[in-house]
Chain A
Amino acid sequence: MSLTAKDVDEIMKLLEGSSFDRLSLEVDGLKLELERGGGGAPRAARPARAAAAPATSAAPVAAAAPPPAAKARQSSEAGLVEVKSPLLGIYYRAPKPGEPPFVEVGSKVDAETVIGIVEVMKLMNSVHAGVAGEVVEIIGANGELVEHGEVLLLVRPA
């Protein structure tokens, strides 16, 4: 089986209509890679990451093209505290791949509670809540680049 130009066109249309930014297709030794916007997907540091990181394979589909700066929060409730990333890096919500996230919506946290990890070139940095209360919304996306000062989650202070 091989792909005709028409097939490729169709696949491109499928990608365009989807919510994905990148598509990787392998058929009988033929490899097709499509990417929205022509940009590269985010990458983590090259050698195998230390055990702490989930999503080791950096699955192409999950690793979407760069998100538009900070994501908009949905909670409009007043008085919520923003927990921000203390540095730029790749944000992970769980200590290891396959393990449950450090916190979920509804989790009770105190100032010392670890709410995630930010990786900078294989160096894992714990992020603390810095406030006591209840997690109301998770904003940072797992496995994605977060900026210094980007909001990771919202906490309703106790």
Chain B
Amino acid sequence: MTIRRILIANRGEIAVRIIRTAQRLGIETVLAVSEADRGSLGAQMADRALCIGPARPSESYLRVETIVQAALGSGCDAIHPGYGFLSERAALAQLCEDEGVIFIGPTARQIEAVGDKLRARTEAIAADVPVVPGGPVGSMSEAQALAAEIGAPILVKAVGGGGGRGMKLVERLEDLAATMDIASAEAGAAFGDARVYLERYVAQGRHVEVQVLGDGAGKVVHLGERDCSVQRRYQKLIEETPAPNLPEDIRAAMHEAAVRFAARLDYRGAGTVEFLYDVARRQFYFLEMNARIQVEHPVTEMVTGVDLVAEQIAIANGEGLRFAQEDIRIDGAAIEIRVNAEDPARDFMPSPGTVSAAHWPTGEGIRVDTHIVAGAKIPPYYDSMVAKIIAHGPDRATALDRLRAALRETRIEGVSTNIAFQAESLADPDFAAGGVDTGFLARKAAQAEV
């Protein structure tokens, strides 16, 4: 089967991004839009835009049946889910499989396998991929034994928690019993589930992830890694490749681990295996796998020259992998900042509205992925990320210089953005040196308050 017309079940910059590649490949596009996105750049660029429902995502972009009906009704042979929304919903992949529509992504089973954290961890262990030492504990004696094995410091986490909630730090092993009691009682009260598990606490960690492509039949290649350690409240803000100042043996071991993990699942399409790199111990641990195209995929494209969306389409089309591992060359370095419509001066409050003027940077090595043009509306219902500015150079210092210059050139009026805030991070000597850990922004904020 040949993909001739794709329904894009997404919005914003990624919809524009997918349309661009489809146009280059001579594939028609149908963009599913909510009422709030009827006038968006993507809606203008696509061959056809179909209104699928009201602005609220739960009534439009998150409706599996409506998306598949829109694809069937408009004669599309495939659906590209982008990232977020339904991209990692096994139900969409499954309905596509049932209806004979090509889902540009992994199988429903693969999405399920990596979507459940505990199951993904089990898969990682089976693939001989290191995980954060720890595990569930049923009794205090079990906890003591496990804690001794892991070594302090240790995190006591609520099974029902997540996203940073329901965690307690144990600095010394002799405090474990007391902290466990409190953590268990609190977890019971907060989440209705008193179960807790122990995990090694990584005081200084870096978020490093590996881009993979799989043919769905066990063949997997990696396209290098990305360092996404500049985060605010678990939200990535700056991403780059290669990960600076990462020991070469660690880098190579991460690549191999990511390939092993994906190959074990017979993974199909583009995916990202995320690791936490423990700087002090020089070890890395599996965090999770994202079964979709990633927001920060352009940095990988800049250094490899591979159009990841085109490869996603080719794999979905049954063409398999069009290159071998040795064909992948990393050329220089690339850094990306996310432009969010939010106000750093007001605790990063989202700043929806109408963009009155937009000037995006151009120049050597500069790429901008966005749907924001003058007059564009930023509706309040969706993520505040509205653009990505990416700079590529023969080395990291050049890429960084180019990115700084690009930010100076950027003008967005009518809404607040985090561009000045991002420029401050780029100007930071620690960032310039390369290899900051995930505590970088929190430390900067704390210093600013003193």
Interface residues of A (CB under 8 A from B): 38-46, 65-66, 69, 87-90, 119-121, 123, 144-145, 147-150
Contact = CB atoms under 8 A, between A and B. Distances in A.
9 tightest Cβ-Cβ pairs between the two chains A and B: A145-B73, A40-B75, A121-B65, A43-B72, A147-B51, A148-B51, A42-B73, A148-B53, A88-B52
A12 to B, nearest CB: 18
Contacts of B4: 38-40
A153 B215 CA distance: 48
Chain B, interface size: which category?
A: 20 to 34
Contact of A66 (B48, B54, B69): B48
Contacts of B76: 40
B256 interface: no
Interface in B44-82: 48-54, 60, 65-66, 68-70, 72-77
Which of B28, B49, B60, B73 counts the most A-chain CB atoms under 10 A from its CB? B73
Given A39-B28, A121-B95, A150 B51 contact: yes
B101 to A, nearest CB: 9
Contacts of A148: 35, 51-54, 60
A95 to B, nearest CB: 20
A66 B74 contact: yes
Which of A69, A89, A90, A123 counts the most B-chain CB atoms under 10 A from its CB? A89
B99 interface: yes
B74 A45 contact: no
A41 B73 CA distance: 8
B22 to A, nearest CB: 13
Contact of A147 (B50, B54, B72, B100): B50
Contacts of A46: 98-100
Contacts, number: 78
A29 B54 CA distance: 48
A38 B77 CA distance: 12
B53 A89 contact: no
A145 B28 contact: no
B5 interface: yes
Given A43-B75, A66-B48, A90 B28 contact: no
Given A40-B4, A121-B68, A87 B53 contact: yes
30 contacts: A38-B28, A39-B4, A39-B5, A40-B76, A40-B77, A42-B74, A42-B75, A43-B75, A45-B68, A45-B69, A45-B99, A46-B99, A66-B30, A69-B49, A87-B53, A87-B66, A88-B50, A88-B53, A88-B66, A88-B70, A88-B73, A89-B73, A90-B73, A121-B95, A145-B69, A148-B52, A148-B53, A148-B54, A148-B60, A149-B51
Nearest to B30: A66
Nearest to B53: A148
Contacts of A119: 69
Given A45-B72, A88-B53, A40 B66 contact: no
A155 to B, nearest CB: 21
B69 A89 contact: yes
Contacts of A150: 51
Contact of B69 (A39, A41, A120): A120
A10 to B, nearest CB: 25
B51 A121 contact: no
Contacts of A42: 72-75
A44 B98 CA distance: 13
B47 to A, nearest CB: 9
A40 B35 contact: no
Contacts of A43: 72-73, 75
Interface in B394-443: none
Nearest to A42: B73
B295 to A, nearest CB: 27
Given A42-B72, A148-B53, A149-B51, A123 B65 contact: yes
B194 to A, nearest CB: 41
A82 to B, nearest CB: 14
Nearest to A150: B51
Nearest to B38: A149
Nearest to B4: A38
A99 B28 CA distance: 36
Nearest to B73: A145
Contacts of B5: 39-40
A148 B50 CA distance: 8
B52 A90 contact: no
Given A40-B75, A46-B100, A65-B75, A145 B70 contact: yes
A154 to B, nearest CB: 19
Contact of A145 (B50, B53, B95, B99): B50
A119 B68 CA distance: 12
A120 B72 contact: no
Nearest to B77: A40
Contact of A88 (B51, B77, B100): B51
Given A39-B4, A40-B77, A46-B98, A90 B69 contact: yes
B40 to A, nearest CB: 15
Contacts of B69: 45, 88-90, 119-121, 145
Contacts of B54: 148
Nearest to A40: B75
Contact of B48 (A38, A69, A87, A89): A69
A4 B98 CA distance: 38
A41 B77 CA distance: 10
B65 A120 contact: yes
Contacts of A89: 66, 69, 73
A52 to B, nearest CB: 15
